[in-house]
Amino acid sequence: MQGMSPIVKNMTRLVAGFIVLFGVYIVLYGHMTPGGGFAGGVILAGGLALVVLAFGEEFARKALTHEAAKTADSIGAMLFLLIALLGYAGGVFFTNLLPVGEVGKLFSAGIIAPCNIAIGIKVGAGLFGVFVALAVFRRAGAGSSTGMIEG
Q: Which is nearer to another protein, 104 or 151 (CB)?
A: 151
The number of beta carbons lying within 10 Å of the beta carbon of residue 121 is 24
Determine, following the binding rule CB under 8 A, whether residue 108 of this chain makes contact with another protein: no
Minimum distance from CB of 94 to another protein (Å)?
A: 4
Task: Convert residues 34-63 into a mask of x (bound to another protein by CB under 8 A) and - (unbound).
Answer: ------------------------------
Query: Which residues ranging from 83 to 102 are in contact with another protein (CB under 8 A)?
Result: 84-85, 87-88, 91-96
Determine, following the binding rule CB under 8 A, whether residue 130 of this chain makes contact with another protein: no
Q: Which is nearer to another protein, 17 or 143 (CB)?
A: 143
Among 34, 47, 3, 39, which Cα is nearest to 119's? 39
8 A C-beta contact, residue 51 and residue 148: no
8 A C-beta contact, residue 22 and residue 33: no
Determine, following the binding rule CB under 8 A, whether residue 134 of this chain makes contact with another protein: no
Fill in the DSSP letter of residue 64. Answer: S
Minimum distance from CB of 91 to another protein (Å)?
A: 7
Rounded-to-integer distance, Cα 105 and Cα 34, Å: 15
Give the 3-state secondary structure of residue 90. Answer: coil
The Cα-based distances of 110 to 12, 31, 57, 80, 149 in angstroms read 36, 10, 41, 14, 48
Which residues are at the interface with another protein (CB under 8 A)?
A: 67, 70-71, 74-75, 77-78, 81, 84-85, 87-88, 91-96, 143-151
